[in-house]
Amino acid sequence: MNFLDSFNVTQNYTALDVVLNLILAFVLGLVVSFVYRLTNRHRALSQSLLMTIIILSMVVALVMMVIGNSIARAFSLVGALSIIRFRTVVKDNRDIAFVFFALVAGMSAGVGNYPIAIFGVVTISLLLIILDYIQFGIARKGIYLLRFQIIPTDTDDATYQTVFERWLSSFSRLSIKTVRMGQFVEHSYLIRLKRGVSEQTFIAELSALEGMERVIILAEESEGEV
């Protein structure tokens, strides 16, 4: 009798099944992490998240094999995992989606549903690569979020709006509030620069105004300051 076939880890899985499912989960986790890295090349990559995607795929596959068809095991596992506290804050919703992607890949590998596991992950990966290639959802260039602080006067709006009309093709106010105990007023605008106008030129012109401080311009598609 074959030793691997006779060694039943659960009622439905042999040791060979376990190994094959975990290997498949590992490969699928690698694919998901590769797609994440490929479509995330314009941002800082987290090695921790890449490893988490691979580990999660294998762990979830093992969990699905442990649970099997037992509802009691499922509830017991949920109770055991409820004591775990994850302190890392995921800032990007896209990262959460990839973690969920890895979780589902591990689930499908763990239950031994190879067609769904392989073709599902490959199909989703290809679609994500296509969306990244066509730059789906990328904001139009030339649109910025502008924030600045200015000493409040009766004519402060007219002062900076003259600069706006000279360098901007469009602008709309988002918010206005007082800061520094009322000594300054902070304005937020969504702006579009005129063709051929650089961000540095506009910032220099706006910063030169009397009473102007802390001029910050953010590209709509980025999180960093220009």
> How much is the pLDDT for 7?
41
Q: How far is CA 109 from the centre of its chain?
A: 25
List pLDDT tens digits, range 120-160.
999 999 999 998 888 776 655 667 888 888 888 766 677 78
Gap between the Cα atoms of 225 and 45, Å rounded:
19
Gap between the Cα atoms of 141 and 9, Å rounded:
57
> How much is the pLDDT for 5?
46
pLDDT at 191 over 70: yes
Half-sphere exposure of 172 (CA within 13 A, CB side): 2
Instruction: Specify whether the CB–CB gap between 150 and 185 falls below 8 A.
Output: yes
Q: Which residue has the tokens 């506290």?
A: 85
List pLDDT tens digits, range 68-98.
766 766 666 666 555 555 555 666 778 888 8
> How much is the pLDDT for 89?
60
Instruction: Specify whether the CB–CB gap between 143 and 190 falls below 8 A.
Output: yes
The pTM is what?
0.60
> How much is the pLDDT for 224?
44
> How much is the pLDDT for 124?
92
Q: What integer best gives the mean pLDDT of the chain?
A: 79
Region of residue 48 (left: phi > 0; alpha: psi -120 to 50; beta: else): alpha
User: Which residues make up the CATH 3.30.70.260 domain(s) of the chain?
Assistant: 143-219
Residues facing residue 225 across a β-bridge: 218
% of the chain surpassing 70 pLDDT: 76
> How much is the pLDDT for 127?
93
Report which listed range, 95-104, 121-130, 204-213, is most confident.
Answer: 121-130
> How much is the pLDDT for 155?
63
**DSSP states of 161-192:** HHHHHHHEEEEEEEEEEEETTTTEEEEEEEEE
pLDDT at 24 over 90: yes
How is residue 141 annotated by DSSP? T
Gap between the Cα atoms of 216 and 203, Å rounded:
8
Out of 10-19, 23-32, 40-49, 83-92, pick the least confident: 83-92
The CATH code that applies to domain 143-219 is: 3.30.70.260
pLDDT at 6 over 60: no
Question: Mean pLDDT throughout 158-168?
Answer: 83
Gap between the Cα atoms of 99 and 96, Å rounded:
5
More confident residue, 221 or 96: 96
